A and B are shown apart, each in its own frame.
Chain A
Amino acid sequence: EAGVVQSPRYKIIEKKQPVAFWCNPISGHNTLYWYRQNLGQGPELLIRYENEEAVDDSQLPKDRFSAERLKGVDSTLKIQPAELGDSAVYLCASSREDRSGQTQYFGPGTRLLVL
């Protein structure tokens, strides 16, 4: 079974530029999550999708961040414009509703550096 796929793995941009991250979840997983992991910290949830619906985006900074999950499969997270403080690792995870308690499986992450 293929894992969660993310691209790109690394991205360096200048502040005020836009950037986008892509995630392909595990096949059959209807729930998709985007997390941000700052240096020395644990991941923090940005947004959670159930199929194509964003069911929890309370922690997403909506002035500059946006996300979409068309057709309930792949997802894209966008930042426009990027700020220095957005430098972090952006992790995508997926899960499905079953007796495993919705165990989340993580991708390798995209490491963003804003200069």
Chain B
Amino acid sequence: AQSVTQLDSQVPVFEEAPVELRCNYSSSVSVYLFWYVQYPNQGLQLLLKYLSGSTLVKGINGFEAEFNKSQTSFHLRKPSVHISDTAEYFCAVSEGNYGGSQGNLIFGKGTKLSVKP
């Protein structure tokens, strides 16, 4: 069965500092990987996704993530954060083949990023 582990429940960081939010997954088949952001009292917004090809994926708002198959990781990074990046970030995985239960997203428990001035 698939699972997603977000290693840090909370990450405090100062404005303009770099940040890395860690995500590890387990799956016996090929996967698609996603990062979503959730601002307070809002739904989830897609930041970026890995389907295939280049392991370095760039997303919106200056975020990027790197797929590492050998370490089963998909860590999210940003070189310089802003106050407006304060939100909760969710890593998610789905099986790489469409059909049936494949394609359903399995989410981690989330990481709360708090950017301080």
Contacts and interface: CB of A to CB of B under 8 A. Distances in A.
B92 interface: yes
Interface of A: 4, 6, 31, 33, 40-45, 48, 55-56, 58, 91, 93, 95, 97, 99-109, 111
Contacts of A44: 107
B10 to A, nearest CB: 11
A55 B105 CA distance: 14
Interface of B: 4, 32, 34, 36, 41-46, 49, 51, 90, 92, 94, 96, 98, 100-101, 103-105, 107-110
Contact of B32 (A41, A45, A58, A101): A101
B109 A91 contact: no
Contacts of B36: 106
A45 B44 CA distance: 14
A106 B41 contact: no
A45 B105 contact: yes
Contacts of A58: 101
Nearest to B32: A101
B42 A108 contact: yes
Nearest to B52: A101
B109 A103 contact: no
B43 A42 contact: no
Nearest to B104: A45
A107 B38 CA distance: 11
B47 to A, nearest CB: 11
A107 B104 contact: no
A56 B107 contact: no
A93 B44 CA distance: 9
A42 B104 contact: no
A43 B107 contact: yes
Contact of B44 (A55, A91, A99, A111): A91
A40 B43 CA distance: 14
Contacts of B92: 42
B98 A42 contact: no
Contact of B43 (A4, A45, A55): A4
Nearest to A92: B43
B101 A56 contact: yes
